[in-house]
Chain A
């Protein structure tokens, strides 16, 4: 199947217009298979990418990005230290 999402990269342009990921610690809530994560993670210091869908999270983990930690969990159960994140990104997940 030939499906192509946002080839114009409008989403990334809009994100970069409002936030810088450079050197920042990111929590991405609702990462799915990493469609968006793969586009910005290279700029971040670290990314914790979470999603309750185990299969999708496994697909992102298989990409092997060195600064991306994946967890198959929802935001209601994720355990992170207080004040430890610079950017919380709700990616179509709120």
Chain B
């Protein structure tokens, strides 16, 4: 990750900017409307996201970049059914899964909330870096 940022620095124009988006180390929740029904079992995702934070810290420490801006947002992924959402997560997220209890709670919540969809909630941070000394 640090090497990737070093390569980015070489390719970047003097007034250029690096933009990094990655999820925070917080667990991703499953929701139906405003009701939280469980969390995604995310394999090593928390460690991977923490490693991205560490890489950013390392290039800042090395003096290659300075932080320009940091903003955060919430990223939702919706499934028409919890089974669709579960299948999507298990096929597309690294080593992630939903446990049966979370799926059951989500089904109950969907039954109680006509018209609602199940969704994942991820917190994501956007950081912009500029070459130091510009």
A17 touches B77 (CB 8 A): no
Pick the contact of A3 from B3, B56, B79 — CB < 8 Å?
B79
**Which residues does chain A contribute within 8 Å of B56, judged by CB atoms?**
94
A90 touches B4 (CB 8 A): yes
A2 touches B80 (CB 8 A): yes
Give the B interface residue count (CB, 8 A): 42
A10 touches B126 (CB 8 A): no
By secondary structure, the A interface counts as mixed
CB distance from A8 to the nearest CB of B (A): 7
Within 8 A of B (CB), among A46-94: 75-76, 78, 80-94
Given the known inter-chain contacts A2-B80, A3-B79, A94-B52, please indicate yes or no for A88 contacting B19, CB distance below 8 A.
Answer: yes
A4 touches B4 (CB 8 A): no
Pick the contact of A94 from B14, B17, B55 — CB < 8 Å?
B55
B13 touches A84 (CB 8 A): yes
Given the known inter-chain contacts A3-B84, A82-B10, please indicate yes or no for A94 contacting B4, CB distance below 8 A.
Answer: yes
Q: How far is the CA of A17 from the CA of B68 in the complex (A)?
A: 12
Within 8 A of B (CB), among A1-25: 1-8, 10-11, 13-15, 17-19, 25
Q: How far is the CA of A21 from the CA of B75 in the complex (A)?
A: 21
Given the known inter-chain contacts A2-B79, A3-B88, A10-B73, please indicate yes or no for A15 contacting B4, CB distance below 8 A.
Answer: no
Assess whether A41 is interfacial by the CB under 8 Å rule: no
A-B residue pairs in contact (CB < 8 Å), sample of 28: A3-B77, A3-B84, A5-B76, A6-B76, A7-B76, A10-B75, A11-B21, A11-B124, A14-B124, A15-B21, A18-B19, A18-B68, A18-B126, A19-B19, A29-B4, A29-B8, A76-B7, A83-B14, A83-B16, A84-B11, A85-B12, A86-B16, A87-B19, A88-B11, A88-B17, A90-B20, A92-B23, A94-B20
